[in-house]
Amino acid sequence: MNPIKTFKKGGVHPEENKFSADQDFPMPKQIIVPLGQCLGAPAECIVNKGDRVLTGQLIGTAKGFVSANVHSPATGTVAKVDVVMDHSGYYKPAVFIDREEQDEWAPGILVTDELLTDIKLDGKAIIDKVKECGIVGMGGATFPTHVKMMVPEGKKAEYVIINAAECEPYLTCDYRLLLEKTQEFLIGVKIVMKGVGTDKGIIGIETNKMPAIELLDQTIKAHPDLYAGIEVQPLKTKYPQGGEKQIIKAITGREVPSGKLPIETGCVVVNVASTYAIYEAVQKNKPLIERIVTVTGKAIKKPSNFRCRFGVPADLLIEAAGGMPEDITDVINGGPMMGKSVSVTSFPTMKGTSGILLMTLHEAQDRRQTNCIRCGRCAKACPMGLQPFLLHKVAKLNDFDETEKNHIMDCIECGSCEFTCPANIPLLDYIRYGKAKTGAIIKARNQK
Amino acid sequence: MSNTLLISLVVLGVLGAVLAVVLYIVAQRFKVEENPLIDEAEACLPGANCGGCGFAGCRALAEACVKQAAEKGNIDGLACPGTDMNKVAAVLGLTAGVFEPKIAVVRCNGSCKNSPAKVHYEGADICAFASTLYAGKGGCSKGCMGLGDCVKKCNFGALHIDPETGLPVVDPDKCVGCGVCARTCPRGIIEIRPRGKKDRRVYVCCSNTDKGALVVKNCSVGCIGCQKCLKECPFEAIEMRGNLAYIDPAKCKACGKCAKVCPRGAIHAINFPAPKPEAPAETPEAPKVELEKTVTA
């Protein structure tokens, strides 16, 4: 095992609370597939009411550069194309599909559990396939993966870093995937390496997932030819180890310059679930229609990981995990640090739904907010070296020149500052507000 | 001792005198010729620099008035929403231009009662931020967040959040119609409309352009786009914006017929006299106007 590495600046260590167990659950009669499942423009619907769709059939085409295709996660008839309240709390366009019991796969998709080790496609074809299959970053940000894999002219990708840190407390979906689909995942890493044109792949993984580290190490050792160039790098359990910039810093020691993309440091960072999806897409031509979702919380009866098709309402997953406990006041889409509370529990699961977290009143309630005592804990915790107390103040005063001067746009919204604040100030709320406003001002200025 | 005092007095006195001469020369040499009328006109304006007139501040408006008066002989189209422009016109030796006083109207009636809260929000009390997190307490994605961005921005203290309804209320005596609140509202709920004759105005108190079924789900007084008012209006003043009726203030004659036919009570007719003498005479800016009720009763 390689020595443990970590990023230096800031970070916190919240309670881990990782539970896991795997279960199946009955699929509902109707699934609701949102058309906007990625960062950027939502897909354009290409099916009409009454159409019969097959599993894996394209139902929404990407609109614009940063956008991803949407495929049907089930076989059935389109009941309607309407709006649904998704996890953001807003009504968004979605396709409602009345499901048939038996899956009928769209032509061209290879339905097999066999491990396919031979990568037939070349670099360009791999990226095209990733684009076609609508693969996005499945850690939660849902940035289209094909955009990430396209290395711009004049730049060279040196490393492919697989982000298996899963630093968010409670979430275990990537960990389960690593344990269950180890070989497929490693082939996926090879495909990404071939896609971006490099022969070095590093899997960054936190030490609280020792069984996965050992399993990956053993698998790579057992097939040295097949998995040549792939390395497992244990990382210290510290939040936000899985932040894109933090994992690059931890593994390569390089720092992404302010306002630049990770490719500046010669790194392409891909999530575990996305890597597995890339394997499925390239080897089996299977589009992204399912993922592993963690349903967890301290009060829940059976904290579980579900292999879940997109479009399944979240309350069904909660039901399958033992039902909604009584004193739940907060349902979070994603992890506790970066996830956002939802307005309804019936929101459909989608590409970015890594977890559904149920918080009791005791855990979720806002503590009484007091004045800033200038202790500087937030500045110490900030992994980007910012001064959250200052950003909070100037954002509150609507002074967006000052927020820009203090690099608010470099904030990765990890929430470490708010986590450490002894005065319980909602620092991140104000910083997010300031970041959105400042971003809009910068965008307007650049367009002039 | 007295020597030191004397020296410092002489030195500073001479220095002061020399500099005063220099300042005088410079002031004469680089004097900016300015129309004294501008100062006089500015004195008539409130000096809040609210920007409601469309200029950078009160002085900018005064300058524009003086300039237009010299060029065209009138001050038509230039108006401070908070002042009687006759005063300014009198200073310039003119009669005031045509100006309609304006007022801010809140086009949402999703009070705690009409659109009951489904979720509880804890976080920064900024509407612009909260609206990035969720649709709103009642679930209406176009409705008022009730966190008071408009109240904080108002220069005249004309807005406050009614604790009972959770909605901002405009004080008609204080509001000058400058439009700062309308520009601040992240959802564009507040509109600046003419006050109307005798302070009577009719407007659609809803901003939701969604389909009727969605509106009904979240609010009992939202516009569902049934177009009844459109057919009722004798002046063709009502148009549909998506699934939302909009009353064009330029065409509206404030007859109040549309308010009577609206099945949702979404059209508000403000300051209309009640038909019966025993009913309360005037309910300025009341969240719900009694017109429809009294007619049906």
Q: What is the pLDDT of residue B283?
A: 44
Complex ipTM value? 0.81
- Please list every residue in chain A whose beta carbon sits closer than 8 Å to the beta carbon of residue B118: 343-344
The upper half-sphere exposure of residue A174, i.e. CA atoms within 13 Å in the direction of its Cβ, equals 33
Whether residue B235 lies within 8 A of chain A, CB to CB, comes out as no
Give A-chain residues touching B134 at CB under 8 angstroms: 88-90, 341, 343
Looking at chain B, how many residues does it have?
297
* Nearest-by-Cβ selection for B123 from A85, A89, A429: A429
pLDDT of residue A414: 92
Q: Label residue B281 exposed, middle or buried (CB < 10 Å: 0-12, 13-18, 19+).
A: exposed
**Contact residues, chain B, for A94 at CB < 8 Å:** none
| CB environment A179-197: b (16+ within 10 A), e (fewer) | bebbebbbbbbbbbbbbbe
pLDDT number for residue A7: 84
Measured in angstroms, the CA of A438 and the nearest CA of chain B are apart by: 13
Q: Do B129 and A430 touch (CB under 8 A)?
A: yes
pLDDT for A429 beyond 80: yes
Q: Bridge-partner residues for A58, per DSSP? A: A71
The 8-class DSSP code of residue A12 comes to B
Report the alpha-carbon distance of residue B262 to residue B212 in Å, rounded: 14
Q: Name the pLDDT band for B98 (thresholds 50, 70, 90).
A: low
B123 touches chain A (CB under 8 A): yes
Taking an 8 Å cut-off on Cβ atoms, the answer to whether A343 and B122 are in contact is no
> How does pLDDT run across B53-75, given as a tens digit for each residue?
778 888 888 888 888 888 887 77
Binned at pLDDT 50, 70 and 90, residue B99 comes out as: low
H or E element in which residue B7 lies: helix B2-29
Do B128 and A366 make contact, defined as CB atoms within 8 angstroms? Answer: no
Residue in chain B closest to A427 (alpha carbons) equals B124
| Residue B128 touches chain A, beta carbons under 8 Å | yes
Q: How far is B119 from chain A (nearest CA, A)?
A: 6
Distance in Å, alpha carbon of A347 to nearest chain B alpha carbon: 13
Minimum distance, in Å, between the CA of residue A326 and any CA atom of chain B: 16
CA end-to-end distance (rounded Å), chain B = 95
Residues in chain B closer than 8 A to A433 (CB atoms) = 124, 126, 128-129, 132
So what's the pLDDT on residue B118?
84
Q: What is the pLDDT of residue A221?
A: 93
Q: Tell me if chain A has a CB within 8 Å of the CB of B139.
A: yes
- Could you tell me the pTM of the whole model? 0.82
In sequence order, the β-bridge partners of residue A348 are A313
The identity of residue B222, as a single letter, is G
pLDDT above 70 coverage of chain B, percent: 90
B228-233: long-range contacts, CB 8 A cutoff, minimum separation 24: B228/B261, B228/B262, B228/B263, B229/B204, B229/B258, B229/B261, B229/B262, B229/B267, B232/B257, B232/B258, B232/B260, B232/B261, B233/B257, B233/B258
Q: Does A235 score more than 50 pLDDT? A: yes
**Which DSSP symbol is given to A265?**
G
User: How many Å lie between the alpha carbon of B263 and the closest alpha carbon of chain A?
Assistant: 25
B149 touches chain A (CB under 8 A): no
B40 phi and psi angles, rounded to 5 deg: -65, -40
Residue bearing the bigger pLDDT, A104 or B290: A104
Q: Is the pLDDT of residue A220 over 80?
A: yes
B157 touches chain A (CB under 8 A): no
Q: How far apart are CA B148 and CA B166, in angstroms?
A: 9
CA-to-CA distance for A56 and A60, rounded, in angstroms?
11
How close is the nearest chain B Cα to the Cα of A115, in Å? 42
pLDDT band for A158, please (50, 70, 90 cuts). very high
For residues A70 and B54, which has the higher predicted lDDT (pLDDT)?
A70
Per-residue pLDDT, averaged over B140-163, amounts to 90
Residue B201 pLDDT > 50, yes or no?
Answer: yes
**B94 pLDDT higher than 70:** yes
Report the Cα A106 to chain-centroid distance in Å: 27
Mean pLDDT of B147-175: 90
Q: Are A432 and B134 an interchain contact pair (Cβ–Cβ within 8 Å)?
A: no
**Domains in chain A, please, with CATH?**
1-24+108-365 (3.40.50.11540), 377-447 (no CATH)
Q: Would you call A426 and B134 a contact, using CB atoms and an 8 Å cutoff?
A: no
Q: What is the interface size between A and B, counted as CB pairs within 8 Å?
A: 52
Q: Which of A214, A221, A235, A258 is nearest to A161 (CA)?
A: A235
Look over chain B and give the mean of its residue pLDDT values, rounded to a whole number.
Answer: 83
| Region of poorest pLDDT, from A24-28, B107-111, B288-292 | B288-292
Question: Which candidate from B129, B141, B210 shows the least CB-CB separation from A429?
Answer: B129
Give A368→chain B minimum CA distance, Å. 11
- Residues with Cβ within 8 Å of A289's Cβ and at least 6 positions away in sequence, in order, are A55, A56, A71, A72, A73, A309, A310
- Note the pLDDT of residue B21: 96
- Cα(A181)–Cα(A276) distance, rounded to whole angstroms? 8
| pLDDT tens figures, A160-213 | 999 999 999 999 999 989 998 999 999 999 999 999 999 999 999 999 999 999
Out of A15-29, A341-355, B213-227, pick the least confident: A15-29
Q: If DSSP codes are grouped into helix, strand and coil, which group holds residue B215?
A: helix
Residues A218-229 have a mean pLDDT of 91
Domains delineated in chain B: 36-91 (1.10.15.40), 102-296 (3.30.70.20)
